[in-house]
C-alpha cells in the first residue's frame, strides 16, 4: 500500500505501529510532526475494511477517525481517498463529517453505508444524537482512531468526546460488547503534560529519558511522569480493551529534528516590520501564526497592499472560505516558487496541528505561542516528510527573559537553554521597508474600519426596519457604540487621501531597495554592488543584495549554547 502512493519504504512510526494495529492491539503512537502518522492508522483501517469482504452488504463502519479541526479531517479524508484508489473500496466508502458544511448532505452520504468515517467531535455528536439508527450503526465500529489525541483531551474538547464514547458504548450491540470494545488507535507528536501548561504561568518540570517501545505501565514506572500522566488520563477516558502498546519512535526529539529554530529579537511595535523584512529577503512559502484573529485580519491586507500574495485563515471564517483559503495559498505557493518570490498564509492556531501543506519553507511565530505543544505543532508545519525547514520566533525582550526561556527549557528537555540562532538584520533595508509598511498598514486599517462600519450600518438598518424605527439615531444611543463608531470614522481615510497614499505606495514599491555597501551583512560581509549587478545576483527588488535562502543562512549561523542554572 505504501508503494502504491509512491513511497519507497514505511516511515519508522508506520513500520512499528502498522503490524501491531493489524494484530488488533490498542496502540498509542508517538512520533515527530510530519512523520506519516496518518498512514500509520489509515493503512490498518483500509486493510481491515477490505478484508471484511463485500462492502455493499455491510452497513456498519470499519473505522471512525476523530480529528480536532475541520481542515485536518478534510485532509485525512483526501489522504485516505488516495490510498483506496488502489483498492476495491469505492470513493463513497469514506465520508467526512465536520461542522460548517451541510448536515443534510452528510446524512445523505451516510445512507451509502460508508466503511470509514472521519469526523470532528461536534458534528459527529450532533448526528448520533439526532438519529438512533446512525448511533447504532456507528456503535458497531471495529476501530476508533484519535488523531492529535492530546489536543482532543485539552480545553473542554473532551466533553463532546466523552458524550460520544458514552453513546457509542450504550448503543454497541451485545455480541460486540462481549468481544469487548472497539480497537483504539491513538496518535500524536506530543503526549507530555508539561507541554500543555501556559508559558506565562507554569514552571517547566524536567523530563527524564524515555524508552523505545513500552507498555503504558512501564512508562509510569520509568519515572517519565509527565507522559505517564497523560497516558493514564487517556486510559481512563478512551476505554481501551487492555493495556495499550505505547510506541514512541522519537523519545528524545520534541521539535522535529529537521526544523532549524531561530529568532528575531524585536519590540512589540516592530513585529510587522520584521515579518515584512523576512518575506522580502527570503522567498518561499511562509506560514505565519498569530495569537489573535484581529492580528490575522490586520496583517493579511497589510502584506497584500505591499504586493506580497497573502491569504488568511482563522476560525471565524465560514468553513467553505477556510477550505478555499488553503487552496488559494497552495496555488500562490506554486506561482511564487516559479518566480522565486514569497507566498504567505497568516493563520490563527486553527492551522497549528496536523495540516500537511506541501513544501512550507518557513513557519513564523508572529506571537510566541501560549503553550509548548502549540509551538511544536506550529513548527511542525515545515520540515515534513524528511525535508528541512525554518521555524522563526519574533520575540520581544520581555518574552525573551520570561516565556521564551520557559519554552526553551521545555523543548530542550531542561538540559540547556540553547540560545536560538538569530538572524542578523540589515538596518539600511529595514529603514526603506518601514516607509512602505507605514503606508500599507494605514491603508489596511482604514479598509478594516470601513468594513466594520459598513457591517454595523447594515445591521442597524436591518434592526431599524424590523422595529419600524425611522430615525436611526434612536438605535445608536449606547455611548460606547457611539464612541467606538466615532473612533473608527476618525481612522477612515478620505477617498482622496487614500488615492494619494496608494499612488505613493505604488511608486515606492516600484523603486528597488538599495542595500548600502557600508553596513554589516546578513551572511557574507561586504558585497561589491557593482559586481553583483553585473552578475545579476540581486533579488528582484533589492539592489546589491545577494539572494540567499533562510535555511542556508541559518544553517551557517551558530547558536550560543549555555547551561541553565539548576533552578
Ligand X SMILES: Nc1ncnc2c1ncn2[C@@H]1O[C@H](COP(=O)(O)OP(=O)(O)OP(=O)(O)O)[C@@H](O)[C@H]1O
Residues that bind ligand X (CB under 6 A): 2, 7, 10-11, 14, 31, 33-39, 189, 354, 356, 380, 384-385
290: helix, coil or strand?
Answer: coil
The full DSSP string for 202-265 is PPP-------SEEEHHHHHHHT-HHHHHHHHHHHHHHT-SSPPEEEES-SS-SS-TTEEEEEEE
Q: Which is nearer to ligand X, 44 or 354 (CB)?
A: 354
Give me the least distance between CB of 334 and ligand X, in Å please. 16
- Distance of alpha carbon 455 from its chain centroid, rounded? 29
Torsion of CA 267, 269, 274, 276, to 10 degrees: 180
Whole-number Å distance between alpha carbons of 186 and 188: 7
Q: Which is nearer to ligand X, 82 or 552 (CB)?
A: 82
Going by C-alpha positions, the residue among 116, 108, 128 that lies closest to residue 52 is 116
The answer to whether 554 touches 260, Cβ cutoff 8 Å, is: yes
Output the smallest distance, CB 540 to ligand X, in A.
30
Q: How many CA atoms lie within 13 A of 11 on its CB side?
A: 22
Question: Rounded to whole angstroms, what are the CA distances from 519 to 381, 525, 529?
Answer: 34, 9, 13
- Which cell is 398 given? 520581555
| Cβ-based nearer residue to ligand X, 258 or 367 | 258
* Least distance (Å) between residue 143 CB and ligand X: 17
Query: Least distance to ligand X from the beta carbon of 318, Å?
Result: 24
Question: Sheet holding 213-215: strands in order across?
Answer: 94-97, 116-119, 63-66, 143-147, 183-188, 27-30, 245-248, 213-215
**Alpha-helical segments (H) within 421-478:** 427-467
Nearer to ligand X, 254 or 440 (CB): 254
Question: Whole-number minimum distance, CB 10 to ligand X, in Å?
Answer: 5
d(CA 25, CA 16): 12
Which CB sits closer to ligand X, 3 or 208? 3
Q: Least Å distance between CB 51 and ligand X?
A: 21
Which burial class, exposed, middle or buried, applies to 241 when counting CB atoms under 10 A from its CB (0-12, 13-18, 19+)? middle
Nearest distance in Å: CB 384, ligand X: 5
Closer Cβ to ligand X, 8 or 510, answer by number: 8
Closer CB to ligand X, residue 245 or residue 382?
Answer: 382
**Beta carbon of residue 3, minimum distance to ligand X (angstroms, whole number):** 9
In the complex, what is the shortest distance from the CB of residue 523 to ligand X, in angstroms, rounded to a whole number?
30
Report CA Rg, the chain.
26
Nearer to ligand X by C-beta: 212 or 462? Answer: 212
Please identify, using beta-carbon distances, which residue of 76 and 143 lies nearer to ligand X: 76
Size of the chain, expressed as the number of residues it contains: 567
Q: d(Cα 129, Cα 140) in Å, to the nearest integer?
A: 16
Amino acid at each position: 500500500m505504501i508503494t502504491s502512493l509512491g513511497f519507497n519504504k514505511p516511515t519508522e512510526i508506520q513500520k512499528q505501529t502498522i503490524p501491531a494495529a493489524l494484530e488488533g492491539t490498542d496502540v498509542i503512537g508517538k512520533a515527530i510532526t510530519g512523520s506519516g502518522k496518518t498512514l500509520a492508522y489509515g493503512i490498518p483501517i483500509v486493510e481491515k475494511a477490505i478484508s471484511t469482504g463485500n462492502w455493499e452488504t455491510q452497513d456498519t463502519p470499519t473505522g471512525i477517525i476523530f480529528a480536532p479541526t475541520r481542515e485536518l479531517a478534510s485532509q485525512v479524508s483526501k489522504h485516505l481517498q488516495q490510498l483506496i484508489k488502489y483498492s476495491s473500496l469505492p470513493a463513497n466508502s469514506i465520508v467526512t463529517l465536520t461542522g460548517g458544511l451541510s448536515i443534510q448532505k452528510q446524512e445523505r452520504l451516510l445512507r451509502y453505508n460508508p466503511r470509514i468515517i472521519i469526523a470532528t467531535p461536534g458534528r459527529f455528536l450532533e448526528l448520533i444524537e439526532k438519529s438512533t439508527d446512525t448511533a447504532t450503526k456507528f456503535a458497531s465500529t471495529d476501530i476508533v482512531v484519535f488523531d492529535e489525541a492530546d489536543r482532543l483531551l485539552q480545553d473542554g474538547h473532551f466533553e463532546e468526546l466523552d458524550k460520544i464514547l458514552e453513546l457509542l458504548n450504550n448503543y454497541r450491540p451485545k455480541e460486540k460488547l462481549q468481544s469487548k470494545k472497539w480497537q483504539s488507535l491513538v496518535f500524536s507528536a506530543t503526549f507530555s503534560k508539561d507541554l500543555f501548561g501556559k508559558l506565562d504561568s507554569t514552571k517547566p518540570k524536567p523530563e527524564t529519558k524515555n524508552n523505545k517501545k513500552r507498555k503504558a505501565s512501564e512508562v509510569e514506572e520509568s519515572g517519565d511522569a509527565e507522559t505517564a500522566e497523560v497516558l493514564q488520563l487517556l486510559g481512563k477516558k478512551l476505554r481501551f480493551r487492555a493495556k495499550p502498546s505505547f510506541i514512541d519512535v522519537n523519545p528524545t526529539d520534541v521539535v522535529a529534528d529537521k526544523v532549524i529554530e531561530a529568532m528575531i529579537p524585536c519590540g512589540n511595535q516592530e513585529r510587522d516590520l520584521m515579518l515584512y523584512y523576512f518575506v522580502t529577503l527570503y522567498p518561499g512559502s511562509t506560514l505565519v501564526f498569530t495569537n489573535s484573529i484581529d492580528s490575522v485580519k490586520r496583517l493579511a491586507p497589510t502584506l497584500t497592499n505591499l504586493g506580497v500574495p497573502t491569504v488568511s485563515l482563522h476560525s471565524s471564517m465560514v468553513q467553505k472560505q477556510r477550505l478555499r483559503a488553503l487552496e488559494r495559498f497552495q496555488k500562490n505557493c506554486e506561482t511564487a516558487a516559479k518566480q522565486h518570490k514569497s507566498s504567505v498564509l497568516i493563520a490563527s492556531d486553527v492551522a497549528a496541528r496536523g495540516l500537511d501543506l506541501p513544501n512550507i519553507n518557513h513557519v513564523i511565530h508572529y506571537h510566541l505561542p501560549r503553550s509548548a505543544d502549540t509551538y511544536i505543532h506550529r513548527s511542525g508545519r515545515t520540515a515534513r516528510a524528511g525535508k528541512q525547514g525554518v521555524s522563526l520566533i519574533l520575540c520581544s525582550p520581555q518574552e525573551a527573559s520570561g516565556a521564551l526561556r520557559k519554552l526553551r527549557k521545555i523543548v530542550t528537555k531542561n538540559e540547556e537553554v540553547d540560545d536560538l540562532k538569530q538572524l542578523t538584520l540589515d538596518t539600511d533595508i529595514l529603514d526603506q521597508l518601514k516607509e512602505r509598511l507605514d503606508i500599507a498598514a494605514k491603508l489596511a486599517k482604514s479598509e478594516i474600519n470601513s468594513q466594520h462600519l459598513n457591517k454595523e450600518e447594515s445591521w442597524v438598518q436591518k434592526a431599524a426596519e424590523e422595529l419600524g424605527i425611522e430615525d436611526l439615531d434612536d438605535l445608536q444611543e449606547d455611548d460606547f457604540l457611539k464612541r467606538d463608531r466615532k473612533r473608527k470614522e476618525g481612522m477612515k481615510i478620505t477617498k482622496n487621501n487614500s488615492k494619494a497614499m496608494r499612488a505613493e505606495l505604488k511608486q515606492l514599491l516600484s523603486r528597488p531597495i538599495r542595500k548600502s555597501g557600508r553596513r554589516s551583512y546578513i551572511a557574507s560581509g561586504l558585497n561589491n554592488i557593482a559586481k553583483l549587478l553585473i552578475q545579476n545576483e540581486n533579488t528582484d527588488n533589492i539592489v546589491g543584495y545577494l539572494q540567499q535562502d533562510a535555511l542556508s543562512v541559518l544553517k551557517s549561523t551558530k547558536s550560543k549554547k549555555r547551561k541553565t542554572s539548576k533552578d
